[in-house]
């Protein structure tokens, strides 16, 4: 959580920092702030505001500060409520050191008590504020050494960037677990929580690794290990994402842009992963496949939308590999004392690759000696780097807080992985595989067809947008789709929505049904279609308002529904990718009608880096 930007070079710093923050605002947006060293003056310029970045920009009111070095932050509160006082950057007693921070300092209370006894006075309730004070306390003329020593006294997981009037030509950065990437320019260098903030200036980046400290001047970056001060030489990586990929591309919201990118994402995933009629995983070599062949049990661990992809992944893996598969939310995994052994495979699914709960679950799996596979979207993220093997989802940057295209890419990757493992385990023949892959090729254009018909949802949306409670039902492969439809709706429209397995209705939830209750039913062609039809009949008999997602041409279910949205006819396993698209659009349209902040819904952040 929280977005960090740091700059040193020749440009006017303030606009660089503000533009960087704009791109990182998805990481948190309850306050924002900047700190710059003013040229020719031995002083810090600090500005911060509660609320979104726009509040800060309007408070600055076009102000110019003569400066070529600065740091900035957009916050998602952990310690201390959103307020101007708690906004970053935080400074020391004499206002000579400024710090921005993403993460949690677990022993901050103890450090704060110690600093108070040394005469330090605090202005905020944050854990972050102890950093500049501790550096001040330990500074005896060498700022890098003081920074290093200060970090050694702090427990927890964090990324930190610091500037000081005492060494105005240096930007200090440190990373442990939380992301920090350095941008390499000509006569300028950068630090940021992710590459989107750097793209206007440079495509050459260096991913700082855990427990590495970097000192940036305008012409040089020196990286060293925290404890032994061993210098690290690392070549910059070239970022291929276009700038346009990180912008809204003409859509009113990132979420809508990302929904419409799904045919492209699906096509791209299939192109990358299917070569000459075979599944191609660039990161899997012979030894990996040998280990996979011995896997006795699979655990899938993830959160939120990625968890729903995992639930569908279980159906896929069990159907095509017959390997028992258990799915857990990351935040519970460790606490169930999971029986994970060296013979097991733990699959971690994460768009950001930085979700703290999933990282913690990953470490638990690792300690038990399991083989770990990351299905991750953000290249170079913590989970991607630390897992034994990684399959990138290549969905491009996802900015909208509500995950859409990353979900589609996760489903496709899981599907291909299940087929791959099925072949290794000799559960699928080459002929079956090529038939499946041929069918799969139809998916990108099937999504396009759905998107073309998006307006068909409008009548239902108009009738339902003021409702406060929604039910979503599905069965089999599409039971998790119902959960995902409900999650999408609640996170961006703030209406209560609950997903159920269709067969569970009669065990309780059906008591909710009367003529005011909307129920969104996923009833595409499947093994359980007949049963699903009965479930719809049961709720219709109790006067529910029914919107159904069905396979093209289904007249039977149409008679039971107030509205119907057709998706192309595909195999049940592939229908999971199609049926979620109208649900994403439904949630989006309801949220827009209710004038919600679709891309940055209240209380949420794109990447949840606290447990």
Q: Which residues in 241-265 are b (16+ Cβ under 10 Å) and which e?
A: eeeeebbbeeeebbbbbbbbbbbeb
> Of 143, 159, 206, 306, which one interacts with ligand AGP (CB under 6 A)?
306
Residue number, 189 or 403, with CB nearest to ligand AGP: 403
User: Would residue 2 show up in a list of annotated catalytic residues for this protein?
Assistant: yes
> Of 131, 375, 539, 608, which one interacts with ligand AGP (CB under 6 A)?
608
- ω into 89 cis (within 30 of 0): yes
User: Shortest distance, CB of residue 355 to ligand AGP, whole angstroms?
Assistant: 3
CA distances, 308 to each of 100, 408, 522 (Å): 34, 11, 15
- Judged by CB under 6 A, does residue 591 bind ligand AGP? no
Q: How far apart are CA 94 and CA 96, in angstroms?
A: 5
Q: How far apart are CA 458 and CA 206, in angstroms?
A: 46
User: Shortest distance, CB of residue 586 to ligand AGP, whole angstroms?
Assistant: 14
Local structure of 334: helix, strand or coil: helix
- Judged by CB under 6 A, does residue 355 bind ligand AGP? yes
Q: Which region, judged by CB under 6 A, interacts with ligand AGP, from 86-94, 161-169, 297-305, 321-329?
A: 297-305
Q: How far apart are CA 561 and CA 157, in angstroms?
A: 51
Q: How far apart are CA 372 and CA 495, in angstroms?
A: 37
Residue number, 98 or 303, with CB nearest to ligand AGP: 303
Tokens of 455: 């307006």
- Judged by CB under 6 A, does residue 358 bind ligand AGP? yes
- Judged by CB under 6 A, does residue 303 bind ligand AGP? yes
Local structure of 451: helix, strand or coil: helix
Residue number, 112 or 334, with CB nearest to ligand AGP: 334
- Judged by CB under 6 A, does residue 255 bind ligand AGP? no
DSSP per residue, 482-538:
HHHHHHHHHHHH--EEEEEEGGGGGGTGGGG-STT-EEEEEE-SSTTHHHHHHHHHH
> Of 576, 607, 609, 610, which one interacts with ligand AGP (CB under 6 A)?
607
Q: Which helix (H) or strand (E) holds 112?
A: helix 108-117
The answer to whether 610 and 604 have CB atoms below 8 angstroms apart is no
Q: Which helix (H) or strand (E) holds 552?
A: none
For the packed helices 405-424 and 430-440, what is the interaxial angle rounded to 10 degrees?
170
User: Shortest distance, CB of residue 305 to ligand AGP, whole angstroms?
Assistant: 3
Q: Which region, judged by CB under 6 A, interacts with ligand AGP, from 227-235, 278-286, 301-309, 475-483?
A: 301-309
Q: How far apart are CA 77 and CA 399, in angstroms?
A: 19
Give me the residue label for tokens 């900015």: 399
The answer to whether 77 and 102 have CB atoms below 8 angstroms apart is no
- Judged by CB under 6 A, does residue 609 bind ligand AGP? no
How big is the site for ligand AGP, counted in residues (CB under 6 A)? 16
Residue number, 120 or 334, with CB nearest to ligand AGP: 334
For the packed helices 108-117 and 130-138, what is the interaxial angle rounded to 10 degrees?
50
Tokens of 469: 């409670």
User: Shortest distance, CB of residue 592 to ligand AGP, whole angstroms?
Assistant: 16
> Of 185, 304, 380, 396, which one interacts with ligand AGP (CB under 6 A)?
304
Among positions 430-459, residues that touch ligand AGP (CB under 6 A) are none
**String of contacts with ligand AGP for each residue 479-498, x by CB under 6 A:** ------------x-------
Tokens of 423: 């072949």
Q: Active site residue: 112, 405, 589, 606, which one?
A: 606
Q: Which of the 8 DSSP states describes residue 528?
A: T
CA distances, 317 to each of 373, 419, 544, 573 (Å): 14, 8, 35, 11
Residue number, 512 or 604, with CB nearest to ligand AGP: 604
Residue number, 29 or 108, with CB nearest to ligand AGP: 29
Give me the residue label for tokens 């202005």: 123
Q: Is the dihedral of CA 493, 494, 495, 497 positive or negative?
A: positive
Q: How far apart are CA 373 and CA 421, in angstroms?
A: 13
> Of 139, 325, 350, 535, which one interacts with ligand AGP (CB under 6 A)?
350
> Of 352, 517, 526, 548, which one interacts with ligand AGP (CB under 6 A)?
352
- Judged by CB under 6 A, does residue 67 bind ligand AGP? no
Residue number, 98 or 376, with CB nearest to ligand AGP: 376
Instruction: Name the residue with the smallest CB distance to ligand AGP.
Output: 304
Rounded to the nearest angstrom, the gap between the alpha carbon of residue 463 and the centroid of all alpha carbons in its chain is: 32
- Judged by CB under 6 A, does residue 38 bind ligand AGP? no
User: Shortest distance, CB of residue 139 to ligand AGP, whole angstroms?
Assistant: 37
User: Would residue 606 show up in a list of annotated catalytic residues for this protein?
Assistant: yes
Among positions 375-434, residues that touch ligand AGP (CB under 6 A) are 401-403
Q: How far apart are CA 345 and CA 41, in angstroms?
A: 58
Rounded to the nearest angstrom, the gap between the alpha carbon of residue 220 and the centroid of all alpha carbons in its chain is: 31
Q: Which region, judged by CB under 6 A, interacts with ligand AGP, from 31-39, 213-221, 433-441, 601-609?
A: 601-609
User: Shortest distance, CB of residue 259 to ligand AGP, whole angstroms?
Assistant: 12
Q: Active site residue: 2, 36, 303, 521, which one?
A: 2
Residue number, 403 or 528, with CB nearest to ligand AGP: 403
User: Shortest distance, CB of residue 83 to ligand AGP, whole angstroms?
Assistant: 25
- Count the neighbouring beta carbons within 10 Å of the beta carbon of residue 475: 23
Give me the residue label for tokens 């349209």: 589
Residue number, 292 or 608, with CB nearest to ligand AGP: 608
- Judged by CB under 6 A, does residue 351 bind ligand AGP? yes
Residue number, 128 or 377, with CB nearest to ligand AGP: 377
The answer to whether 604 and 492 have CB atoms below 8 angstroms apart is no
Active site residues: 2, 606
Chain residues in the site for ligand AGP (CB under 6 A): 303-306, 350-352, 355, 358, 401-403, 491, 604, 607-608
């Amino acid at each position: 959580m929280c977005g960090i930007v740091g700059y040193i070079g020749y440009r006017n710093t303030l606009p660089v920092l503000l533009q960087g923050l704009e791109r990182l605002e998805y990481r948190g947006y309850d306050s924002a702030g900047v700190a710059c060293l003013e040229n020719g003056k031995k002083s810090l310029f600090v500005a911060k505001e509660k609320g979104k970045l726009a509040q800060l920009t309007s408070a600055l009111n076009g102000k110019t500060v003569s400066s070529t070095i600065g740091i900035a932050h957009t916050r998602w509160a952990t310690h201390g409520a959103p307020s101007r006082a708690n906004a970053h950057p935080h400074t020391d007693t004499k206002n000579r050191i400024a710090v921005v921070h993403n993460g949690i300092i677990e022993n901050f209370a103890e450090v704060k008590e110690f600093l108070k006894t040394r005469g330090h006075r605090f202005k905020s309730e944050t854990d972050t504020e102890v950093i500049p004070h501790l550096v001040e306390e330990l500074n005896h003329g060498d700022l890098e050494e003081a920074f290093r020593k200060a970090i050694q006294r702090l427990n927890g997981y964090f990324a930190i960037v610091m500037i000081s009037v005492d060494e105005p030509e240096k930007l200090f950065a440190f990373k442990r677990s939380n992301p920090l990437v350095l941008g390499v320019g000509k006569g300028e260098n950068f630090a940021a929580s992710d590459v989107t903030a750097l793209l206007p200036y440079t495509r050459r980046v260096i991913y700082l690794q855990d427990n590495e400290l970097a000192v940036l001047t305008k012409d040089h970056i020196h990286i060293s290990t925290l404890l032994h001060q061993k210098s690290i030489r690392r070549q910059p990586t070239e970022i291929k994402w276009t700038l346009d990929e990180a912008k809204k591309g003409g859509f009113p919201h990132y979420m809508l842009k990302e929904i419409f990118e799904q045919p492209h994402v699906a096509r791209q995933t299939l192109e990358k992963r299917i070569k000459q009629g075979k599944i191609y995983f660039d990161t899997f070599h012979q030894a990996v496949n040998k280990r996979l062949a011995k896997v006795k049990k699979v655990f899938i661990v993830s959160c939120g939308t990625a968890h729903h992809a995992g639930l569908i992944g279980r159906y896929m893996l069990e159907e095509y590999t017959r390997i028992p598969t258990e799915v857990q939310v990351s935040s519970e995994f460790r606490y169930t004392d999971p029986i994970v052994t060296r013979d097991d495979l733990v699959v971690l699914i994460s768009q950001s690759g930085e979700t703290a709960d999933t990282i913690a679950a990953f470490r638990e799996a690792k300690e038990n000696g399991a083989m770990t596979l990351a299905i991750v979207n953000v290249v170079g993220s913590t989970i991607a780097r630390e897992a034994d093997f990684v399959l990138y989802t290549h969905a491009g940057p996802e900015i909208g807080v509500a995950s859409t295209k990353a979900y589609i890419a996760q489903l496709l990757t899981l599907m291909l992985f299940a087929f791959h493992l099925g072949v290794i385990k000799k559960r699928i023949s080459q002929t079956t595989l090529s038939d499946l892959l041929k069918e799969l090729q139809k998916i990108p254009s099937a999504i396009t067809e759905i998107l073309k018909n998006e307006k068909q949802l409008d009548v239902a949306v108009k009738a339902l947008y003021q409702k406060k409670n929604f039910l979503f039902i599905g069965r089999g492969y599409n039971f998790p789709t119902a959960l995902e439809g409900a999650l999408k709706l609640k996170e961006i429209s703030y209406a209560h929505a609950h997903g159920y397995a269709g067969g569970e209705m009669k065990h309780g939830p059906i008591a909710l049904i009367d003529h005011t209750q909307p129920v969104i039913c996923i009833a595409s062609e499947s093994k359980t279609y007949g049963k699903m039809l009965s479930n719809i009949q049961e709720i219709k008999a109790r006067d529910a308002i029914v919107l159904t997602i069905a396979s093209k041409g289904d007249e039977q279910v149409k008679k039971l529904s107030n509205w119907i949205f057709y998706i192309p006819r595909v195999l049940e396993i592939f229908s999971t990718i199609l049926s979620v698209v109208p649900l994403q659009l439904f949630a989006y349209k309801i949220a827009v009608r209710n004038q919600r902040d679709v891309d940055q819904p209240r209380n949420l952040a794109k990447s949840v880096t606290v447990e």
